[in-house]
């Protein structure tokens, strides 16, 4: 039997509770809190006991003794939050304390999107050198690096189809031949056996260039009990087409499908999100396991290159940077229909913000909108400003895009199959540039602004969307609830004060109201302050196979 299966959870629960009944002292008892158990049920008063890294008792435990008693009177005791969509692969290696996440109760980050930490067979680093050299090849190598450096939260990773394709084909845009597809399938299989949880894809606007390849790779992930997660590229004028492809994968690969940051962008599209919600609900009514997540903001964040035409980016970042140096190419881009359409989807020039420059010379513009930068530079057309800056910075500018409506955010949030996820990273206050506020506040914004203040959600449902729902989506069987035998990942907070302290204008500040956070039974946040503890670990997927002769357990 594998750890994480119901039978093993029951055995662990019996062993831990049985030992306590025989007189053992708990490690920690959280006493007198209002327990919101993650299921969506109403809170109840009680205590939570931790022993051996797991929850050993839940309910009224008046005679329990422990090495540490935490008085949770007036506080909420909830499961640790699971962030289904993050970019923390390198940030966790650079600063394993994961400050921005654990200070708002996140105990698991799910990694992987357009790229994943592995496979890296034959790949070299691109762009400026990072703090940590990417000198591993496999997920095993990456996970070993996480364990050696130490992390304050747990980590799960998907394997990215784009990463797999680049290992096999580089930036060749042609369809894979039979031999190349076989290599890609083998890399997905290897990644699943190394602990990846499923396949993740990221498309340009309009969907995948080679849809049949994606279906075949998803079938491999399905054979290992994994899921399929899709970052759709349009979320605007071509969203229906992309959703229908994700549903096709669910049908043909017979695999659960999860959609990243469901939304509708571009002012011309505001108010139409209901039709996309209906598309997903129709798929679910046919018996397809399709879910989604969202971040609770009206602005998104990624590279400016995302609204440039695909032809300009062919061949990878170096080729894109070279093309931007050619005035004739920039003139062609400026009049390209896709460039104009996708820039409108991104909020047009008044909605596009520079978050992080590619060169020191342009850092003075960080935090400014393109219209503001154009005015400072004396440019008549902000499109020219955009193209010039991208040429100067080799296409490496990223930032925020104010492109969504508050009403649409709330409509998506009310759906029971939509989880809360950040699309952010585990960072600290020294992060470069002007990062999106979601890095520091996604979860507490859901608890404070949307649940307590705006009453879009109940407190119990906000917690469910960040705990048991993500666990269900991942088929993660021993986390996401305050339940005996489950892992000791807990968030203890004051629901009267929990919330964000940052904004789009001042993005770098930590959440407030989160009093205690436990990861695998160890206090990482104690009385609102990070303890420096690093009890986190990689959580390995359902297809994991321990290397022969290691004696390691499968998960």
Q: Is residue 221 within 8 Å of residue 188, measured between CB atoms?
A: yes
Whole-number Å distance between alpha carbons of 516 and 491: 6
Overall pTM > 0.75: yes
Average pLDDT over residues 136-158: 97
Q: Is 430 exposed, middle or buried (0-12, 13-18, 19+ CB in 10 A)?
A: exposed
Q: Report the pLDDT value the prediction gives residue 325, as an integer from 0 to 100.
A: 93
Give the pLDDT confidence score for residue 129 in this predicted structure. Answer: 67
**CB distance 107 to 517 below 8 Å:** yes
Domains of the chain and any CATH numbers? 6-79+503-530 (2.30.40.10), 167-259+261-288 (3.20.20.140), 306-400 (no CATH)
Q: What is the pLDDT of residues 44-68, one digit of tens each?
A: 999 999 999 999 999 999 999 999 9
16 band by pLDDT with thresholds 50, 70 and 90: very low
pLDDT of residue 235: 74
b/e per residue, 247-280, with b = 16+ CB within 10 A? bbbbebbebbbbbbbbbbbbeebeeebeebbebb
Mean of the per-residue pLDDT values for the chain?
93
């Amino acid at each position: 039997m594998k750890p994480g299966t119901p039978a093993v959870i029951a055995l662990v629960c019996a062993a831990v509770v049985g030992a306590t009944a025989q007189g053992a002292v708990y490690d920690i008892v959280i006493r007198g809190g209002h327990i919101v158990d993650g299921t969506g049920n109403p809170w109840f008063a009680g205590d939570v006991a931790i022993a051996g890294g797991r929850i050993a008792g839940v309910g009224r435990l008046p005679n329990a003794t422990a090495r540490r008693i935490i008085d949770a009177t007036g506080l909420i005791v909830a499961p640790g939050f699971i962030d289904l969509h993050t970019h923390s692969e390198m940030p966790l290696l650079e600063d394993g304390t994961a400050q921005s996440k654990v200070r708002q109760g996140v105990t698991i980050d799910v990694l992987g999107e357009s790229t994943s930490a592995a496979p890296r067979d034959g790949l070299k680093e691109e762009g400026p050198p990072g703090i940590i050299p990417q000198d591993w090849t496999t997920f095993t190598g990456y996970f070993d690096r996480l364990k050696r450096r130490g992390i304050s939260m747990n980590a799960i990773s998907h394997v990215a189809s784009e990463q797999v394709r680049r290992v096999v084909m580089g930036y060749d845009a042609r369809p894979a031949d039979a031999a190349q597809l076989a290599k890609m399938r083998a890399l997905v299989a290897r990644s699943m056996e190394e602990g990846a949880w499923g396949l993740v894809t990221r498309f340009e606007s309009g969907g995948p260039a080679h849809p049949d390849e994606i279906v075949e790779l998803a079938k491999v992930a399905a054979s290992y009990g994994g899921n399929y997660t899709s970052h759709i590229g349009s979320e605007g004028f071509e969203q229906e087409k992309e959703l229908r492809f994700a549903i096709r994968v669910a049908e043909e690969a017979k695999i659960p499908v999860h959609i990243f940051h469901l939304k509708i962008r571009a002012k011309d599209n505001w108010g139409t999100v209901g039709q996309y919600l209906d598309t997903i609900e129709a798929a679910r009514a046919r018996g397809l396991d399709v879910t989604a997540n969202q971040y609770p903001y009206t602005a998104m964040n990624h590279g400016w290159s995302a609204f440039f035409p695909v032809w300009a980016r062919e061949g990878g970042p170096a080729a894109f940077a070279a093309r931007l140096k050619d005035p004739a190419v920039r003139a062609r881009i400026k009049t390209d229909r896709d460039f104009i359409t996708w820039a409108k989807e991104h909020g047009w020039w008044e909605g596009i913000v520079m978050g992080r420059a590619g060169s020191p010379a342009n850092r003075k513009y960080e935090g400014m909108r393109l219209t503001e930068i154009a005015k400072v530079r004396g440019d008549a057309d902000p499109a020219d400003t955009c193209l010039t800056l991208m040429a100067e910075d080799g296409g490496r500018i990223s930032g925020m895009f104010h492109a969504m409506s508050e009403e649409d955010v709330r409509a998506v949030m009310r759906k029971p199959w939509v989880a809360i996820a950040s699309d952010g990273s585990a960072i600290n206050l020294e992060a470069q540039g002007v990062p999106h506020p979601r890095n520091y506040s996604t979860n507490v914004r859901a608890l404070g602004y949307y649940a307590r203040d705006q009453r879009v959600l109940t407190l119990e449902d906000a917690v469910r969307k960040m705990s048991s729902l993500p666990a269900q989506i991942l088929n993660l069987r021993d986390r996401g609830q305050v339940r005996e035998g489950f892992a000791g990942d807990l968030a203890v907070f004051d629901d009267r004060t929990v919330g964000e302290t940052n904004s789009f204008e001042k993005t770098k500040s930590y959440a407030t109201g989160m009093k205690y956070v436990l990861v695998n039974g160890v206090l990482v946040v104690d009385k609102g302050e990070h303890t420096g503890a690093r009890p986190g670990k990689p959580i390995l997927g359902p297809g994991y196979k321990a290397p022969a002769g290691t004696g390691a357990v499968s998960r």
